[in-house]
Copies of this chain bind each other. A is one copy, B any other.
Amino acid sequence: MTTITDTTRNGVDTEQLFATLDLIKAQPELAKFQFRASNRWINGAHNRTTIKDFYAAGGEDTSRSEEFQIDAGEPAILLGTDTGANPAEYLLHALAACLTTSIVYVAAARKVELTSVQSTLTGDMDVRGALGVDDEPRNGFERISVSFRVTGNAPEEKLREVVERARKRSAVYDMVTNGVPVAVEVASE
């Protein structure tokens, strides 16, 4: 007789998750990652980012067989032709995706089986800043609101704890709320 222990919860292999955490605890130098993106202007507000390679766990990761291509654009009122979501909308997507994955991983580690995770995000912007009409409003969102609806096999209090823990560990939430130093170089040849 064979006993099969399914270690997958919420689609996350928890055995691999805990092994990864143990490995990084033992060898912190493996925690150094570098993510990358290349962007090319196409026309007007249409540009395209290509994402594939990254550095992880002591070397170049080669596990991705294909690159991701992501198109950006603007709607007509912002002088584009809707060739993709606009950059500020992609920032909302990055935030939603990171918080959601963090919730799913934290729940998996804490033996909570989720049945659904949904969120709606809004970002309020006074476009006078970005359009250069007025220096008073900032360029970006004045505020972002995130509303989650999370269901699973745990009491409401436990589900709230999972979301709170996820918020405290989310990479994009950290960046969007606290900011990141950004260096910009330009070559013109």
- Which chain A residues have a beta carbon within 8 Å of chain B's beta carbons? 10-13, 16-17, 20-21, 24-25, 28, 31-41, 43-47, 49, 51, 54, 56-57, 61, 63-64, 68, 70, 72, 74-80, 82, 84-105, 114, 116-134, 137-151, 156, 159-160, 163, 165, 167, 169-189
Please state if A34 and B75 are interface contacts (CB–CB under 8 Å).
no
Please state if A49 and B97 are interface contacts (CB–CB under 8 Å).
yes
- What would 24 A/B residue contacts be, using CB atoms closer than 8 Å? A21-B132, A21-B133, A32-B126, A33-B127, A36-B120, A37-B120, A39-B119, A41-B100, A41-B116, A45-B101, A47-B100, A49-B92, A54-B89, A61-B75, A63-B76, A64-B75, A90-B94, A90-B172, A91-B175, A139-B170, A143-B183, A149-B188, A163-B186, A176-B180
Q: A11-B46, A41-B104, A88-B172 are in contact. List 11 more A-B contacts (CB 8 A).
A: A25-B134, A32-B124, A33-B127, A35-B122, A35-B125, A37-B96, A38-B120, A47-B96, A88-B98, A149-B188, A176-B176
Please state if A70 and B93 are interface contacts (CB–CB under 8 Å).
yes
Assembly stoichiometry (copies): 2
Please state if A144 and B183 are interface contacts (CB–CB under 8 Å).
yes
